[in-house]
Amino acid sequence: MIVVTSAAGGVGRPLVERLSAAGEHVRAFVKNDQQAGVARRAGAAEVVVGDLRDASALTDALRGAGRAYHAAPTQIIDEQPLLDAFIDAATSGDLRHLVFHSVVHPDLHVLPHHHQKDVAEQRLKESGIPVTVLRPSHYMQNYLELWDFIRVGSMPYPVSTQSVMGVVDVEDVAEAAVRVLRDPSGHVGQTYDLSAQELTREEMATAWSEVVGHRVTAVRIPPASITNPLRSVHVLPQLVAALPSPRATSVVRLLKALDGARNVRGINTWSRDAVDTYRTMMSHYDEHGLPAGDLSHLPTLLDRAPTSYEQFARREAARRGV
Lowest mean pLDDT among 97-101, 110-114, 272-276: 272-276
The pLDDT score that the predictor gives to residue 263 is 66
What string of DSSP letters covers 302-318? HTSPPPPHHHHHHHHHH
Beta bridge partners of 4: 28, 69
Residue 269: DSSP 8-state: G
| pLDDT top residue among 245 and 307 | 307
Domain boundaries, the chain: 2-129, 138-167+196-290+307-322
Please give the Cα distance from 285 to 263 (Å, whole number).
21
Distance, in Å, from the CA atom of 60 to the CA atom of 47, rounded to the nearest integer, reads 11
pLDDT digits (tens, 9 = 90+) for 251-286: 888 888 887 777 677 777 778 888 888 889 999 999
How confident is the prediction for the chain on average, in pLDDT?
92
Categorize the per-residue pLDDT at 23 as very low, low, confident or very high, splitting at 50, 70 and 90: very high
Using DSSP's 3-state secondary structure scheme, residue 27 falls into strand
Question: What is the CATH number that goes with domain 2-129?
Answer: 3.40.50.720
Q: Residues 119-161: pLDDT tens digits? A: 999 999 999 999 999 999 999 999 998 899 999 999 999 999 9
Q: What is the pLDDT of residue 291?
A: 96
pLDDT at 230: 60
Three-class secondary structure assignment of 168-197: ECHHHHHHHHHHHHHCCCCCCCCEEEECCE
For residues 193 and 104, the answer to whether their CB atoms sit within 8 Å is yes
What is the percentage of the chain residues whose pLDDT exceeds 70? 98
Angle at 57 between CA 56 and CA 59, to 5 degrees: 60
> Does residue 177 or residue 258 have the better pLDDT?
177
CB-count exposure of residue 210 (10 Å: 0-12, 13-18, 19+): exposed
Write out the DSSP string of 111-171. Answer: SHHHHHHHHHHHHHHHHT--EEEEEE-EEGGGGGGGHHHHTTTEEEESS-TT--EEEE-HH
C-alpha angle 181-111-77 in degrees, rounded to nearest 5: 65
In this prediction, residue 287 carries a pLDDT of 95
Residue type, 315: R
Q: Could you tell me which CATH number the domain at 138-167+196-290+307-322 has?
A: 3.90.25
pLDDT tens across 45-96, in order?
999 999 998 988 999 999 999 999 999 887 777 888 889 899 999 988 789 9
Helix axes 80-91, 112-127, angle to 10 degrees: 20
